């Protein structure tokens, strides 16, 4: 069984069926060992992705406040070559962004070929926070699920490998993490009264997430539910799903690199031949 649950297209997601404290039958030590192995493989895959330059990767991270989006980026990406990684964080839209369609700011920062892109929050906020707070009329956000599916299908058609993770934490774990931020001086900078306010809308958010995951998990851009109460398991589950996905492209990338190598060698051989002819 994979550690993160991949949502089959067309199935109705019920978050209550997914245990946020799941640990795959592993203890922390075994989990961290497996994480290290898979992370080394992820590093090698990223190098091939970057060198081959035929695809891009787009990893989307969503989750409630304190679910560990930042921590996952720090841990899962720590081995990768920073030259090939781009992280984009989506905040409250600016006036200029609001004056455009909701995908405008998103499309501008999608990863180019060879790049491993990470979205810390994403266009899904436009069917999450926007829906929960009624920031636009319901028909407007309702239409967005289909817009998102079309947009992601278009990205996939142009060579983007899309993997979307919902970091699933329990309400109890969130309270503990929020209190921890208050109690530890070194963590207080992360505090936000807004996090407590958003927590009051917990059920509305879970419902909005269930809809987004149910309606926007497609073959080309699947959603994964990641048990995220245990940080080490969250990192392992994300890394495993990424490696599983990217392994499927390794042969293509190696073939592209082989072609590239042959072309470079042929170019050099032709140049040498020309030098020899000149010398004669």
Residues at the interface with ligand AMP (CB under 6 A): 90-93, 121, 125-126, 129-130
Q: How far is the CB of 130 from ligand AMP (least distance, A)?
A: 5
The nearest distance, CB 231 to Mg ion, in angstroms, is 16
CB of 32 to ligand AMP, least distance (A): 26
**Binder of residue 22, out of ligand AMP, Mg ion, none (CB less than 5 to 8 A by kind):** none
Torsion of CA 19, 20, 24, 27, to 10 degrees: -130
Spatial CB neighbours of 74, under 8 Å, sequence gap ≥ 6: none
* Complex with ligand AMP: residue 47 or 104, whichever CB lies closer: 104
> Minimum distance between the CB of residue 229 and Mg ion, rounded to whole angstroms?
18
Q: Which is nearer to ligand AMP, 46 or 66 (CB)?
A: 66
Strands 5-6 and 85-89, how do they pair?
unpaired
Contacting Mg ion within 64-123 (CB under 5 A): 65
**Which one, 24 or 93, has the nearer CB to ligand AMP?**
93
126 binds, among ligand AMP, Mg ion, none (CB under 5 to 8 A by kind): ligand AMP
Q: Binding to Mg ion by residue 48, rule CB under 5 A?
A: no
Task: Enumerate the β-bridge partners of residue 89.
Answer: 120
Between 125 and 229, name the residue whose CB sits nearer to ligand AMP: 125
Work out whether strand 85-89 and strand 56-63 pair parallel, antiparallel, or are unpaired: unpaired
Residue 121 beta carbon to ligand AMP: minimum distance, rounded to whole angstroms: 5
Q: Which two tokens stand for residue 244?
A: 């599983």
* Residue 152 contact among ligand AMP, Mg ion, none, beta carbon within 5 to 8 Å by kind: none
Encoding tokens for residue 109?
Answer: 């920062």
Rounded to 10 degrees, the C-alpha dihedral 32/188/68/135 comes to 180
Nearer to ligand AMP, 79 or 89 (CB): 89
Residue 60 beta carbon to Mg ion: minimum distance, rounded to whole angstroms: 17
Q: How many chain residues are in contact with Mg ion, going by CB under 5 A?
A: 1
Alpha helices in the chain (DSSP H): 28-52, 69-76, 95-98, 104-107, 129-132, 138-157, 171-183, 193-199, 202-215, 231-247, 250-279
Residue identified by tokens 């019920």 is 14
- Which is nearer to ligand AMP, 76 or 246 (by Cβ)? 76
Select from 34, 20, 76 the least CA-distant residue to 229: 20
Nearer to ligand AMP, 102 or 116 (CB): 102
Which positions ≥6 away from 22 have C-beta within 8 Å?
A: 3, 227, 233
The angle, 0 to 180 degrees and rounded to 10, between the axes of the packed helices 202-215 and 138-157 is 40
For the bound state, the minimum distance from the C-beta of residue 202 to Mg ion, rounded and expressed in Å, comes to: 15
Examine residue 198 and tell whether it contacts Mg ion (CB under 5 A).
no
Structure letter (DSSP) for residue 228: -
From ligand AMP, Mg ion, none, interface partner of 169 (C-beta below 5 to 8 A by class) = none
Measured from each CB, the residue nearest to ligand AMP is: 125
For Mg ion, the binding residues (CB under 5 A) are 65
């Amino acid at each position: 069984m994979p550690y993160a649950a991949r949502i089959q297209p067309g199935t109705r997601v019920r978050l209550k069926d997914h245990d946020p404290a799941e640990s795959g039958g592993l203890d922390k030590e075994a989990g961290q060992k497996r994480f290290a192995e898979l992370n080394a493989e992820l590093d090698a895959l990223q190098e091939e992705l970057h060198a081959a330059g035929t695809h891009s990767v787009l990893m989307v991270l969503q989750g409630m406040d304190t679910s560990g989006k930042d921590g996952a980026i720090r841990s899962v990406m720590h081995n990768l070559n920073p030259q090939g990684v781009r992280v984009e964080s989506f905040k409250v839209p600016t006036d200029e962004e609001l004056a455009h369609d909701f995908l405008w700011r998103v499309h501008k920062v999608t990863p180019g070929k060879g790049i491993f892109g990470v979205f810390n929050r994403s266009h899904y906020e436009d069917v999450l926070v926007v829906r929960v707070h009624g920031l636009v009329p319901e028909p407007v956000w309702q239409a967005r699920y289909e817009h998102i599916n079309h947009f992601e299908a278009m990205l996939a058609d142009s060579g983007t490998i899309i993997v979307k993770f919902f970091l699933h934490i329990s309400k109890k774990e969130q309270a503990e993490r929020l209190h921890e931020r208050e109690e530890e001086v070194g963590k207080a900078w992360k505090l936000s009264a807004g996090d407590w306010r958003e927590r009051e809308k917990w059920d509305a958010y879970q419902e909005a997430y269930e809809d987004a995951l149910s309606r926007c998990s497609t073959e080309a851009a699947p959603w994964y539910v990641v048990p995220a109460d245990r940080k080490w398991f969250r990192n392992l589950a994300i890394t495993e799903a990424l490696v599983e996905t990217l392994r499927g492209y390794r042969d293509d990338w190696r073939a592209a690199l082989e072609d590239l190598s042959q072309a470079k060698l042929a170019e050099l051989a032709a140049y040498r031949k020309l030098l020899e002819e000149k010398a004669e």
